[in-house]
Amino acid sequence: MESLPDWLERNPLNGLGFTSQDRFIPTTIAGLARRVVVIIGGGDAPPSFEDDLYVITELYLKQLVRSMRSISSRHQRQARTQKQLFAHNALLTSVDRENFPPRKPKVSAEMIFEMVKIGRVSADIPKAARRNVINLVADNAQAIAKDSPETLYELVSRIETATLQEMISKYEEKLGQDLNETKWQSFFEANTFILSMAFAVPTIFVRATPYVHGKRVTGHGGKYSDFLMRGQGTGNVALIEIKAPGTKLLTPYRSEQQGPSPELTGAITQVLGQRRRLITGWANLKLDDDGTLKDTEVYSPQAVVLIGTLPASKLDREPFETFRQVLKDITVLTFDELLARLKYLHDALTATPIAKAPSDSAPPWQS
């Protein structure tokens, strides 16, 4: 009995083995099968289970017991502190707020750790509590930025990556549906960042369905594009015309030759006309501007047509690619190509440098 570790119960009258405060260890292992034999040995290998034998090293088990007891002690201290704080606010602050101002709880690093991650498993925060967690971080953002800026940068990076992944998922879901142009315009208006990926330079959303030219004295006859963007650096404006993903890109020209479809050439003609009218009427637009066109210029307006999806066969891709590469002052981009750009950005943001793998013996709570 004397050879048993200190953290195991040696007295048979008291249970012999795991104490009541460590009961979660044997009861958890018991979940593997109806009959399990636990062998405690030396070395530093991670736990294993085979043929009803659960093998765990003394070192691993010792660290596990210490960590679980530490959690119990920490929660007892936290509960005592919270009770004192609650009593102060409920009994003293309620009758004399000036002399007994309300006390705010201090959140320890251990509490935050347990709220977010235990053993590499993300916490399932209830929906109603998520806003409180966000507010907690937001209220302490200034202090975090001052003391641990790298922590804040990492948080921002993770939020942006998660937001981008959600955006990609919604985009893929909509591509699987037969949506018309109006539905796609609403989607892009709610997710304008996606449209910026259609350009080679950083671009900012300006306005949806912008008026470009052509109103008569009656107020009718105005010409509108789908979206107006501007370069983040130069302010050069850009027009985007949206067509549905199911729009045909090619049509038979001869028996062995495909040519651009009427829908494709019509969309190109439409946006080029809008571009020309925007240039000729720019002075009047700026004169009557309400601030929407601030920091925008018409140096050489870009025009983009987002239409269809790439042809499935290599034979059809050749005439499509050849046609759009000779176009002047206009870019033709397909919906699946825009999705590929989003995925490429996501992969670049989530890529991590190759690092030395952690030791297999490292307990999960030390991650």
Q: Please indicate, yes or no, whether residues 236 and 313 belong to a single structural domain of this protein.
A: yes
Q: Please indicate, yes or no, whether residues 175 and 292 belong to a single structural domain of this protein.
A: yes
Question: Is 146 within the bounds of a domain?
Answer: no
Q: Where are the alpha helices (DSSP H) in the chain?
A: 24-29, 58-87, 109-116, 127-139, 141-147, 149-175, 181-190, 192-196, 262-280, 282-287, 314-325, 335-350
Query: Which residue carries 């045909």 as its tokens?
Result: 248
Question: Is 161 within the bounds of a domain?
Answer: no
Q: What is the pLDDT of residue 305?
A: 92
Q: pLDDT of 134-159, one tens digit each?
A: 777 777 778 777 887 887 777 777 77
Query: Which residue carries 């050849």 as its tokens?
Result: 322
Q: Please indicate, yes or no, whether residues 135 and 201 belong to a single structural domain of this protein.
A: no
| Structural domain ending residue among the three candidates 54, 83, 104 | 104
Question: Is 295 within the bounds of a domain?
Answer: yes
Q: Please indicate, yes or no, whether residues 85 and 123 belong to a single structural domain of this protein.
A: no
Q: What is the pLDDT of residue 124?
A: 56
| Structural domain ending residue among the three candidates 104, 126, 155 | 104
- Taking the CB of residue 19, how many other CB atoms lie within 10 A of it? 14
Q: How many CA atoms lie within 13 A of 287 on its CB side?
A: 4
Q: What is the pLDDT of residue 215?
A: 45
Question: Is 150 within the bounds of a domain?
Answer: no
Cβ 307 vs Cβ 240: under 8 Å? no
Q: What domain range includes position 177?
A: 170-350
Q: Please indicate, yes or no, whether residues 254 and 187 belong to a single structural domain of this protein.
A: yes
Question: Is 264 within the bounds of a domain?
Answer: yes
Question: Is 149 within the bounds of a domain?
Answer: no
pTM exceeds cut of 0.85: no
| Structural domain ending residue among the three candidates 139, 158, 185 | 139
CB-count burial class (<10 Å; 0-12, 13-18, 19+) for 306 = buried
Cβ 144 vs Cβ 151: under 8 Å? yes
Q: Please indicate, yes or no, whether residues 131 and 176 belong to a single structural domain of this protein.
A: no
Question: Is 274 within the bounds of a domain?
Answer: yes
Q: What φ, ψ does residue 207 adopt, rounded to 5°?
A: -165, 150
Q: Please indicate, yes or no, whether residues 227 and 334 belong to a single structural domain of this protein.
A: yes
Q: Please indicate, yes or no, whether residues 228 and 331 belong to a single structural domain of this protein.
A: yes
Cβ 205 vs Cβ 268: under 8 Å? no
Q: What is the pLDDT of residue 319?
A: 92
Scored b (16 or more CB within 10 A) or e, 90-115 reads eeeeeeeeeeeeeeeeeeeeeeeeee
State how many domains the chain has.
Answer: 3
Q: What is the pLDDT of residue 322?
A: 93
Q: Please indicate, yes or no, whether residues 36 and 59 belong to a single structural domain of this protein.
A: yes
Q: Please indicate, yes or no, whether residues 44 and 73 belong to a single structural domain of this protein.
A: yes
Which residue ranges of the chain lie beneath pLDDT 70? 1, 15, 106-133, 200-225, 352-367
Q: What is the pLDDT of residue 324?
A: 93
Q: Please indicate, yes or no, whether residues 304 and 228 belong to a single structural domain of this protein.
A: yes
Question: Is 145 within the bounds of a domain?
Answer: no
Q: Please indicate, yes or no, whether residues 77 and 200 belong to a single structural domain of this protein.
A: no
